[in-house]
C-alpha cells in the first residue's frame, strides 16, 4: 500500500532540511542588498595588488571592543577560507597619534604581528594591561618586548619613524577612500564595503561578495 500523500510531504520536508544543513551559510541566505548589506566603493582600489587573490581587509582597532569580539569569529572563518582568499588586518589609523596602529606596523615589519595580535587584544580587553585609548609609545613598546620584539628601545624609536608615518598615512588614505567610518569594517577587493547589521552578518555577506568576485574573474 503506497504511503499517504501527507507522509510523502513530511518525508520530502525532512530530506530537504537535511540537505540544507550541508549548504554553506551564504547559500542559505538571501542575496546581499546594496545599500543595506554592502556599499560599492566608487573607484575603489585594493590595499595590495591582488595577484590572483581575493582580498579581504579588516580595518580594525585594538581599542575597539567590537573588534575584540569579532576576532573569535574571524579566527573560525579564516580556518575554513578558500586558498584564493587573502585576509589582511589593517589598523584604522584615524589619527597620527594612534600608537596601537604604529605598534602594529612595527610588529609587522619585525614579523611578530601573528604572535602578538591576539595577545594585544587580550592585554587591552581581558587583562587591562593597556588602556583602550591613549597608550604611550613606551607602554606599547614594552608590551611588544614581551612578544619577541628585538629591542624595546628600538621598537619605540621605530614607532615614531618617518617610515611608520608613511604607513599610517597609506592606511588612513585607504580607509578614507573606502568610506570606513568605524571598526570593524571589511573591504572586499577594494570594491565593496560590508555593512552587516550584526558582527555575525559581516562574514556571511563577505562570503557572498567573495563568491561574486570569484565568478566575475
Alpha-carbon distance values, 211 to 26, 121, 148, 170 (Å): 9, 30, 38, 28
Q: What percent of the chain has pLDDT over 70?
A: 87
| Residue 29 pLDDT | 65
| Residue 26 pLDDT | 41
- Name residues whose C-beta falls within 8 Å of residue 141's C-beta, 6 or more positions apart in sequence: 103, 149, 152, 153, 155, 156, 159
140 or 95, higher pLDDT: 140
Q: Which domains does the chain have, with CATH numbers?
A: 32-215 (3.40.30.10)
The DSSP-derived string for 153-192 is: HHHHHHHTSHHHHHHHHHHHHHHHHTT--SSSEEEETTTE
CB count within 10 Å of CB 1 equals 3
pLDDT surpassing 50 at residue 132? yes
Q: Tell me: the pLDDT tens digits for 182-213?
A: 999 999 999 999 998 899 999 999 999 999 99
Phi, psi of 90 (to 5 degrees): -140, 115
Q: Tell me: the pLDDT tens digits for 32-65?
A: 999 999 999 999 999 999 999 999 999 999 999 9
The radius of gyration computed from the CA coordinates of the chain, to the nearest angstrom, equals 21
User: If 0-12 CB within 10 Å is exposed, 13-18 middle and 19+ buried, where does residue 52 land?
Assistant: exposed
| Residue 134 pLDDT | 95
Angle between helices 99-109 and 162-177 (to 10 degrees): 110
- Name residues whose C-beta falls within 8 Å of residue 155's C-beta, 6 or more positions apart in sequence: 103, 106, 110, 141, 144, 145, 149
pTM of the complete model: 0.85
Mean pLDDT of 137-157: 97
Amino acid at each position: 500500500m503506497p504511503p499517504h500523500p501527507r507522509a510523502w510531504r513530511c518525508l520530502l520536508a525532512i530530506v530537504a532540511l537535511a540537505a540544507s544543513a550541508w549548504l554553506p551559510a551564504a547559500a542559505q541566505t538571501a542575496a546581499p542588498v546594496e545599500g543595506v548589506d554592502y556599499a560599492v566603493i566608487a573607484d575603489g582600489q585594493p590595499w595590495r595588488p591582488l595577484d590572483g587573490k581575493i582580498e579581504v581587509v579588516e580595518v580594525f582597532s585594538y581599542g575597539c571592543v567590537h573588534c575584540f569580539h569579532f576576532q573569535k569569529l574571524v579566527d573560525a572563518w579564516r580556518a575554513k577560507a578558500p586558498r584564493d582568499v587573502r585576509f589582511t588586518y589593517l589598523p584604522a589609523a584615524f589619527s597620527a597619534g594612534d600608537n596601537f596602529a604604529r605598534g602594529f606596523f612595527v610588529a609587522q615589519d619585525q614579523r611578530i604581528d601573528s604572535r602578538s595580535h591576539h595577545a594585544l587584544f587580550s592585554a587591552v580587553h581581558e587583562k587591562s594591561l593597556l588602556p583602550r585609548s591613549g597608550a604611550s609609545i613606551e607602554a606599547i613598546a614594552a608590551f611588544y618586548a614581551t612578544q619577541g620584539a628585538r629591542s624595546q628601545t628600538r621598537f619605540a624609536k621605530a614607532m615614531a619613524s618617518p617610515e611608520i608615518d608613511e604607513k599610517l598615512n597609506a592606511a588612513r588614505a585607504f580607509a578614507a577612500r573606502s568610506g570606513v567610518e568605524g571598526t570593524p569594517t571589511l573591504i572586499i577587493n577594494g570594491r565593496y564595503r560590508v555593512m552587516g547589521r550584526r558582527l555575525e552578518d559581516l562574514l556571511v555577506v563577505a562570503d557572498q561578495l567573495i563568491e561574486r568576485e570569484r565568478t566575475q574573474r
